[in-house]
Structure 1
Amino acid sequence: MVRRFIRFLLCVIGVVAIGGAAFYFIIAPNPLPESHWANLGTPDVRNGEMVFWAGGCVSCHAAPGAQADARLTLSGGLALKSPFGTFHVPNISPDEKAGIGGWTLAQFGNAMKRGVTPDGRHLYPSFPYGSYARLTDKDVNDLFGYLKTLPKSGNVAPPHELPFPFNIRLALGGWKFLYFNDQPRVALANADDKLKRGQYLVEGPGHCGECHTPRGALGGFTADMWLAGAPNPEGQGRIPNITPGSKSMGTWSEGDIATYLETGFTPDFDSAGGSMTEVQRNIAHLPKPDLEAIAAYLKAVPSR
């Protein structure tokens, strides 16, 4: 009887251990191997600059209130308030100690595409790696090369201010299991090269869905409401619906959208406002064919 109980107890312990190991395997950080980032060659810094503007890096990583060329010093420090706490944007200047100057391409690439820190922890999705996961390896390499050309800053941002349980980084593995992937956000029938380029820019570096798509209680996108508008993550007002079903933007032509992205002016001669002012200023650096590709994609997504 005692032996039977001991065998039963050992079986229970074994099942718990195997289950725990399997659970950890699911939620553990999953960086790409070093070999994945090898042999990408010399970065195309000019293309890296275009990726930089498409990604809007200065909007979060420049010092609050920075103007003109000072915006290119990516010292961090911006406080992003959210329902989960306050995130403090880090320094991503090429400073070797305070920034990312000491990082390898693999470390940078895994932060961008896998949401993993150089020391192997999960990054919070306040950094939109859920969108950046769609970047090509070439664009990651080129962006990293461009960032190295920018001014250094020794500023060190304060740590995030997050209450329990949101301060437990390992729990982010569960969030990634539920929401993180690198697949297209929508399926587009008969997409030509222009439409594919627009999809890449909007769903990837442009990370437009991070603000324009509603989220559930755990902070993941409501999948069938892509770009349908959402509460402002900063707490004031609402980010608009930008699908063809929008009562305002839904009436714009592709040309209207491309002109708005280039100039900031709407078809009725209003101008970009709120956080979109900064976004438009960044996107305006892109070549006109890219602006036209973004416009084509926004007219092709499902209407909401």
Structure 2
Amino acid sequence: MLRRILLGLILLGALGLGIFWLLTIPAVVAPASLPPRTANLANGLAAFNAGGCTSCHAVPNQPDRLKLGGGLAMPSPFGTFHVPNISPDPTYGIGRWSEADFVTAVLKGTSPDGAHYFPAFPYASYQHASVDDVRDLFAYLKTLPAVSGKPRDHELPFPFNIRRNVGIWKLLFMDGKPLVADASRPPSWNHGAYLVNGLGHCAECHSPRNFLGGIVDAQRFAGGPNPEGEGWVPNITQKRLGDWSAKDIAYFLETGQTPDGDTAGGSMVRVIRNMSQLSAEDRAAIAEYLKSLPPVDGPPRPKKAKES
């Protein structure tokens, strides 16, 4: 009897492992799905700025925002992530990547060697970017200077360091669906929705997260603890921005200046450096979309927490 029980447990374990393995297979974009196309470098630059690539990937403590050698340390409840090199360096960066490798990384969160990237890389939002925008972004990145050097490996304790587990996270928090335009809204609003929810990945910082690190959908954009561990990220729904006009929001994205004369601080300073490089039309579209967000109460805020 005991032998049968043990055999049954082994078979159940093997079945469970097989199901887990199938459910967590990293998704990829097939090269054949990317037809020949002439890259639009101007659009790639716009995608680069909207996506905030320099905010995380620029080498810390140096003035050139186009040196994307990585190295920034990003603390989190799951450990410390160290941002990788995405410069065109063939050894330490993405210089040897194919276009399909890059599109797969951005839209699927899968590395060229077939492993899951950790979701500190905001591909849960980037998945909504258009393939053409991502292809143009890759073409633009290849025009930037190569930076040698490999940043430190992530410092994550078990079991958070097991990349295969990220496949379950993706099943829970990624839908793999493109954004669908709202026909009842003007093109400018839809463009703002695309920038905010896709490349701009605003919800990644401006939303509270559950114990698994997934965004709490009911409080999307309602602010919460800074994912990097210090301060409080503000609510950007009309709960907080109700007194701001669309022009106020657009001006803030350009200059970092609030309507009451205050200035952006913390990690938002890096975001403003990118947003200020967008066209006035892009910033206006973002502002139009943000003004349309209904007021949503965020999580209770500690009295001593400061906004970033």
TM-score by length of 1: 0.91
1:214–1:114 CA distance, 2 compared to 1 (3 A): same
Aligned residue in 2 for 1:65: 61
Q: CA deviation at 1:24?
A: 1.6
Alignment length (residue pairs): 296
2:61 alignment partner AA: G
Residue 90, structure 1, aligned to residue 84, structure 2: yes
Aligned residue in 1 for 2:245: 253
1:113 alignment partner AA: L
Aligned residue in 1 for 2:37: 41
Measured in 1, the distance between the counterparts of 2:258 and 2:30 equals 45
Q: CA deviation at 1:12?
A: 7.9
Aligned residue in 1 for 2:299: none
Residue 55, structure 1, aligned to residue 47, structure 2: no
1:237 alignment partner AA: G
Aligned residue in 2 for 1:113: 107
1:66–1:186 CA distance, 2 compared to 1 (3 A): farther
Aligned residue in 1 for 2:289: 297
**Equivalent residue of 1:267, what SS?**
coil
RMSD of equivalent CA atoms: 2.3
Kindly indicate whether the alpha-carbon contact (under 8 Å) linking 1:27 and 1:171 is maintained by their aligned counterparts in 2.
yes
Measured in 1, the distance between the counterparts of 2:238 and 2:214 equals 23
Aligned residue in 2 for 1:133: 127
Aligned residue in 2 for 1:165: 159
Kindly indicate whether the alpha-carbon contact (under 8 Å) linking 1:186 and 1:301 is maintained by their aligned counterparts in 2.
no
Kindly indicate whether the alpha-carbon contact (under 8 Å) linking 1:121 and 1:170 is maintained by their aligned counterparts in 2.
yes
Please show how residues 206-245 of structure 1 align to structure 2 within 5 Å: 206-245=200-239
Measured in 2, the distance between the counterparts of 1:47 and 1:296 equals 21
1:8–1:45 CA distance, 2 compared to 1 (3 A): same
Q: CA deviation at 1:181?
A: 2.1
Measured in 2, the distance between the counterparts of 1:224 and 1:186 equals 20
Q: CA deviation at 1:182?
A: 3.6
**Equivalent residue of 1:80, what SS?**
strand
Kindly indicate whether the alpha-carbon contact (under 8 Å) linking 2:127 and 2:178 is maintained by their aligned counterparts in 1.
no
Kindly indicate whether the alpha-carbon contact (under 8 Å) linking 1:62 and 1:73 is maintained by their aligned counterparts in 2.
yes
After superposition, the C-alpha distances for 1:46-104 in whole angstroms (9 at most, x for unaligned) are 1101110111111111111121xx22010111111111001111100001111000000
Measured in 2, the distance between the counterparts of 1:233 and 1:243 equals 18
After superposition, the C-alpha distances for 1:201-246 in whole angstroms (9 at most, x for unaligned) are 0011111111000000000000111100010112111000000111
**Equivalent residue of 1:209, what SS?**
helix
Q: Quick one: percent identity of the two aligned structures?
A: 50
Measured in 1, the distance between the counterparts of 2:131 and 2:56 equals 23
After superposition, the C-alpha distances for 1:122-145 in whole angstroms (9 at most, x for unaligned) are 000111111110110100110000
Q: CA deviation at 1:158?
A: 1.2
TM-score by length of 2: 0.90
Measured in 1, the distance between the counterparts of 2:221 and 2:229 equals 18
Measured in 1, the distance between the counterparts of 2:265 and 2:16 equals 51
1:47 alignment partner AA: N
Q: Which consecutive residues of structure 1, in runs of 5 or more, have no partner in the other structure?
A: none
**Equivalent residue of 1:87, what SS?**
strand
1:186–1:244 CA distance, 2 compared to 1 (3 A): farther
Q: CA deviation at 1:21?
A: 2.8
Single out whichever of 261-270 and 144-153 deviates more from structure 2.
Answer: 261-270
Q: Which consecutive residues of structure 2, in runs of 5 or more, have no partner in the other structure?
A: 297-308
Q: CA deviation at 1:183?
A: 4.1
Kindly indicate whether the alpha-carbon contact (under 8 Å) linking 1:116 and 1:122 is maintained by their aligned counterparts in 2.
yes
Measured in 2, the distance between the counterparts of 1:40 and 1:135 equals 19
